[in-house]
Structure 1
Amino acid sequence: MRAAMAAAVLRPTAATLRFLSTPPHQRRRVLVGHLPFARRRRHSSTATAPALEDSSPRSGEGKAVRRRRARESPQGLLRHQLDMCSRNADLTTALRLYDDALSPDNPIPLSLHHYNCLLYLCSNAAATDSDSHISATAAQRGFDIFARMEADGVQPNEATLTSVARLAAATRDPAMAFSVVRRMAAAGTPPRLRTYGPALFAYCDAKDADGAKQVEAHMDASGVVPEEPELAALLRVNADTGKADEVYRLLHRTRVLVRQVCDTTAQVVEAWFRSDAASQAGVDSWDPTKVKEGVVKGGGGWHGQGWLGKGAWSVGWTEMGKDGTCQRCGERLVCIDIDPAETDNFANSLTELAIKLEAREDFLSFQSWLRRHGPFDAVIDAANVGLYKSKDFCFSQVNSVVNAIQRVTKSKKLPLIVLHRSRVNVGPAKAPYNQKILDSWRNAGALYATPPGSNDDWYWLYAAVSCRSLLVTNDEMRDHLFQLLGTSFFPRWKEKHQVRLTFSGHGPTLHLPPPYSIVIQESEDGSWHVPTTTGDDIEKPRQWLCTTRKSLR
């Protein structure tokens, strides 16, 4: 089957074959001749210039012809064929096309895009193919193609060098992969997280913790922030090599950047605490005053004074009670405060994004309305609530939640109900009972109908942030809109303000924010609690890794 794949090649079109068989000085004429539009222009008695030269804006035909000429040129056809190879992960055909393009009889000049497609395919095969011979061959071809690219004077970009770094990593040469990143930075091309990945993971796979730390330091200097896979790799290599101080530092970095970890990262952390190196790390005595000062300075939930205690750890999985008490060791987790200045900055960032993506006057009008009618103790994402487990919007369902949240807020004031204007004016809204509900919300100054064409997510989120209020929604707020916020503040804010809900025959049940922070916590006596994303919903409790010193229990 592999032989058949190697023999396969995308067939050039008849137009391409005709073009390649034509002497170079006649190629342009052939290219013009096989375009239908150009042929009509050439035979027209009113034509005063070749069709492909016509760029008159009066008809727009010049641009269309130039685009078509580019597509059907040898470079354009090769680009299309390589794109198809990339889509199908077909390295064999791509290399055949590359070799044909270098033919001395009819060479095709290669662009940056051509080279990037080829390098991507080579690096992908080198990194993922289980056949070591095919992997090595793909890597070697990739290096050869990159050498040819440089010889041709084609300037590489970030995507190019990322592929070269992947080639180096696939050949188990992390130093070369890292040199590619440094070269990019020195040339003024900002590296990205994906560019650092090959070098970082290659060092970690080679159990070279010092090399991995150099890559991490370079990332920090370039303003590139590691994500959970990178942090997990760093934790693993330092745990495997017994570097206790580095594991401690990286656990705290994970606490800040990730907060909650996936199962695979949790397994890395669990393996560390069960290791001999972990049992040997720490001190028999410490200054409780300094530990308390560290907790206060850090805002709660950690002290940063290093491993406390000595000896083997007791490690196990557990859940937290409603008040944040660990059901395994009995320790109560803390609630970490949010700096009010951070909330103000976040509200300002929301405003800037919203007025860029929404009609500016519409959003500014909403802010003015909110200043007149607010503040509110709670905000309801009415679209999410009204469509909860239902295809049809239900006003009475929203109203039951309005009444339920009103009872638990301090002011007992109606919450703000944010609903798109189309929901307010048409369909079920016309029913007499629903009109009565809407009128009661309007009369209380608690309904805001967002304008046509708007995204009501911006409105209810801004209202909840600026009012420091609860937000009633089951929306996990993970889509593209919320990714635009690009800040570690948002998950911390959501944890403390989102109210989720379920319905039963008795009406809605509100699931208020927990009285503790769902984040890696280090206690004053040296124990650790690591939350996972497993069970991150209302009905299934979250799983926590609980680790305490046996000698301190």
Structure 2
Amino acid sequence: MATPSHKGNPTNSTKRKKNHKNPEANFLYELNSCSKSKDLKAAISLYESAISNKTRLNQHHFNTLLYLCSTISTDPESKSLALTYGFRVFDHMMTLNIHPNEASITAIARLAAAKGDGDYAFEMIKKLGDYRVLPRLRTYEPALFCFCQKLEAEKAYEVEADINKMGLSLEEPQIAALLKLSAETGRGEGVYEYLQKLRRGVRWVSEETGKVLEDWFSREGSEVGFEGATYEVSFVKEAVLRNGGGWHGLGWIGKGKWVVRKGKVEPNGRCCCCGERLGCVDIDDVETEKFAQSVAGLAMEREVKANFREFQEWLEENADYEAIVDGANIGLYQQNFAEGGFSILQQLDAVIKEMYGRSGNKWPLIILHNKRVRALLENPSYRKLVEEWMNNGVLYTTPHGSNDDWYWLYAAVKLRCLLVTNDEMRDHIFELLGSSFFLKWKERHQQVRYTFPKGILKLQMPPSYSVVIQESEKGSWHVPIVCDGNEESARTWLCITRPGACEDLGKTASNIETCENGNGPCCKSEMSNTGDFEILPSDNRNQASQDFFQMSYAETPSITGKRKERSP
């Protein structure tokens, strides 16, 4: 007689597998189902049955229950039940001497915050150390947001201090909450501090954060600033340059009402609302030096120290470059075909001449391996050109066995100049850097890309301005709002200016056509404040850098001295 088959009955198979599980596993299985469906009442029933049946409960069981209670606690209809059972479950967990982990404390902190008890939420975080568990940013959020909502500023600042002490970094939601708290409690200097933190922490802001800024600058913001004291123009400019552009950090400049508008920014960086030109934001002097030291340290771990130190010393004496050229990357571009080779005339020399012209007749520095240079010198067709580079101080040859990536990267960082390469910097050597300012540096310096459509050089220069929050020399602010897609022309910016800033800096204001009256050249404004005022177009900040971005050639050539060339 044939044995009946169960293949066609998956339900029986599932039941059989479930019945073979132990009570603890069955409880967890059912509990997870309740958690997924957010069925708190069913989960509570399971929990009470487990207690009656003396099921052995573990940390995972309790965390699942706590998580469900904490997520349901935001629902007005189920809030009371979630809070009651949430704390009961946690007390039971502690009675059984089951140590909580970060997930446990985060859940109980959310429950405490849901009933408005930020103090209890913060106390629970402090107890994590007793269990040798480190908190995460999400662990602090309930206490921080609770204090912010209740306008308990000092307590919120204490939570922030603890976050910083743990080495965690605030993100936009936390910074925006603290900024709003400072605004609503009349702490103008606090608003400035968190606006700077927002500038450092995010590239652009959400619509919600933008609304917080818009509201504050349109009302209470008029009370901050200087009534009598002024800054020297040169002092503010020096601060902006020292910081890498885009901010000075000196505090509020000017006095009186702010004018808050929404508008676009032209491709050349000009704000359509106020006429000011946005800057190219670089990493600051301290970050640059740290980055350069990091690159040098990693290079000397992997290169012959004497060779790399010699390069560092040479660069100290020959620092007048505005661009570094990754010679191998350009010479070998799209040469992976049968007749391909190292394209020195059609590609590398074309790039060098183009960069020479764009920079007002200043030679870039070519980094090229000595093996490649020797081969070029042995070729009569190329010898004269290579010797010309050497005589003009254009060429630095890296030694045998070296990785020239370290050399061109260090030079570009140390000299704070442009880097011409299509290298995406995704290799392991760049992963070693791993610093938060590496991406900012890469955007500002590495994006001189090139193509040769139909054999004609086409350079893609870095953007003429940075899409980040910017504080100008005059004290105005420009804040990019998040947008869909990659088209920067579609992005809306908050333009925040005050007429008094121009006066405080000793400037002579001049009328320009802006979107204030609907006649702007490229956008339509949404006014948040109105009034009679004059706006001065900005000076050309970071002049040396900005000049380099111009597409036209300099008419008056400059003479550059010869630099000592390292022998190949």
Taking structure 1 as the reference length, the TM-score comes to 0.63
Q: Return the offset for 1:327.
A: 3.7
Q: CA–CA distance in 2 between the matches of 1:414 and 1:141?
A: 69
For the pair 1:163 / 2:107, whether they are aligned, the reply is yes
Query: CA 1:535 to 1:155, structure 2 compared with 1: closer, same or farther past 3 Å?
Result: closer
8 Å CA contact 2:327, 2:366 repeated in 1: no
CA displacement, residues 172-229 of structure 1 (integer Å, 9 cap, x when unaligned) = 3222222222222465533221111111122223343333222212222332221111
- Is the CA contact 2:265–2:489 (under 8 Å) kept in the aligned structure 1? no
Among 138, 141, 157, the alignment partner of 2:85 is 141
User: 1: CA distance between counterparts of 2:423 and 2:264?
Assistant: 25
Does 1 or 2 have the higher relative contact order (CA < 8 Å, sep 6+)? 2
Match of 2:441 among 493, 505, 510: 493
Contact 2:447 2:461 in 1 (8 A): yes
Q: Which residue of 2 aligns with 1:124?
A: 71
Are 1:330 and 2:278 an aligned pair? Answer: no
Q: Does 1:268 align with 2:212?
A: yes
1:115 aligned partner: 62
Provide the secondary structure at the position in 2 that maps to 1:377.
Answer: strand
Structure 1, gaps ≥5 residues long:
1-10, 19-71, 356-362, 388-394, 418-443, 448-458
Contact 2:182 2:191 survives alignment (8 Å): yes
Deviation, structure 1 residue 150: 0.5
Aligned equivalent of 1:343:
291
Which structure 2 residues correspond to residues 419-434 of structure 1 after superposition, within 5 A? none
Residue type at the aligned position of 1:497? H
Q: Secondary structure at the match of 2:78?
A: helix
Distance in 1 (alpha carbons) for counterparts of 2:31 and 2:328: 47
Higher helix share: 1
In 1, are the aligned partners of 2:478 and 2:493 still within 8 Å (CA)?
A: yes
1:200–1:212 Cα contact (<8 Å) kept: yes
Query: How many residues matched?
Result: 440
Deviation for aligned residue 1:96: 3.7
Residue type matched to 1:210 in 2?
Answer: E
Instruction: List per-residue Cα deviations over 1:209-263 (Å, max 9, x = no partner).
Output: 3332222122223322211111111112222333222111111122223354344
Give distance in 2, aligned partners of 1:543 and 1:460.
42
Judged with a 3 Å threshold, the aligned counterparts in structure 2 of structure 1 residues 194 and 526 are, in CA distance, closer, same or farther, namely same
CA distance in 2, matches of 1:296, 1:267: 29
Q: Secondary structure at the match of 1:540?
A: helix
Residues 368, 161 of structure 1: alpha-carbon distance in 2 compared, 3 angstrom cutoff: farther
Question: In structure 2, what is the Cα distance between the partners aligned to 1:379 and 1:503?
Answer: 14
Aligned to 1:196: 140
- Corresponding residue for 1:172? 116
Residue of structure 2 equivalent to 1:287: 230
Letter in 1 for 2:149: D
Shift of 1:445: 12
Code of the aligned partner of 2:163:
M
Question: Partners in 1 of 2:52 and 2:127 — Cα distance?
Answer: 32
Q: Indicate how the Cα distance of structure 1 residues 318 and 222 shifts in structure 2: closer, same or farther if over 3 A, else same.
A: same
User: What is the one-letter code of the residue matched to 1:229?
Assistant: P
Instruction: Name the CA shift for 1:539/1:205 in 2 (closer, same or farther; >3 Å).
Output: closer
Deviations 1:65-121 (A, max 9, x none): xxxxxxx443344444445555555545543432232124xx221111221122112
- 8 Å CA contact 2:447, 2:462 repeated in 1: yes
> What is the 5 A alignment of 1:47-446?
72-83=21-32, 85-86=34-35, 89=38, 91-104=40-53, 107-127=54-74, 131-185=75-129, 188-273=132-217, 275-289=218-232, 292=235, 295-296=238-239, 299=243, 300=245, 301-322=247-268, 324-335=269-280, 336=282, 337-339=284-286, 340-347=288-295, 377-379=324-326, 405-406=351-352, 407-408=354-355
| % same residue | 32
CA displacement, residues 493-522 of structure 1 (integer Å, 9 cap, x when unaligned):
122123276989777753322455544332
The 1:292–1:230 alpha-carbon spacing in structure 2 relative to 1, beyond 3 Å, is same
Does the CA-based 8 Å contact 1:115-1:145 persist in structure 2? Answer: yes
TM-superposed deviation, 1:147: 0.8
- Alpha-carbon spacing, 1:142–1:519, altered in 2? closer, same or farther (3 Å): same
Distance 1:481 1:101 in 2: 54
> Does structure 2 retain, via aligned residues, the 8 Å contact 1:232–1:265?
yes
| Secondary structure in 2 matching 1:229 | helix
In structure 2, C-alpha distance between the alignment counterparts of 1:327 and 1:223, rounded to whole Å: 40
Unaligned runs of 5+ in 2: 1-12, 316-322, 335-339, 357-361, 370-394, 413-417, 503-533, 535-568
Equivalent-residue separation in structure 2 for 1:446 and 1:82 (angstroms)? 67
8 Å CA contact retained: 1:122, 1:142: yes
- In the TM superposition, what whole-angstrom CA distance separates every residue of 1:332-353 from its partner, at most 9, and x where no partner exists? 444445444222244268779x
In structure 2, do the counterparts of structure 1 residues 314 and 153 end up closer, same or farther at CA, with 3 Å as the change threshold? closer
Q: CA deviation at 1:305?
A: 3.1
Q: Give yes or no for contact 2:192–2:251 (8 Å, CA) kept in 1.
A: no
Larger mean Cα displacement after TM superposition, 245-254 or 201-210: 201-210
* Structure 2 CA distance for partners of 1:206 and 1:471, relative to 1, 3 Å: farther
How far is 1:295 from its partner?
4.8
Aligned pairs for 1:8-19 (under 5 A) are 13-14=15-16
Considering only aligned residues, what root-mean-square deviation do their CA atoms show, in Å? 5.1
Match of 1:58 in 2: none
Specify the alignment match of 2:384 in structure 1: none
Q: Which amino acid aligns with 1:117?
A: T
SS in structure 1 at match of 2:162:
helix
Q: CA deviation at 1:291?
A: 8.3
Q: How far apart, CA to CA, are the structure 1 residues paired with 2:106 and 2:49?
A: 26
Verify the 8 A CA contact 1:83 1:117 in the aligned structure 2.
yes
Q: Which amino acid counterpart does residue 66 of structure 2 have in structure 1? A: L
Q: Provide the residue aligned with 1:440 in structure 2.
A: none
1:511 matched to 2:460? The reply is yes
The CA distance in 1 between the partners of 2:487 and 2:367, in whole Å, is 22
What is the Cα deviation at residue 386 of structure 1? 8.9
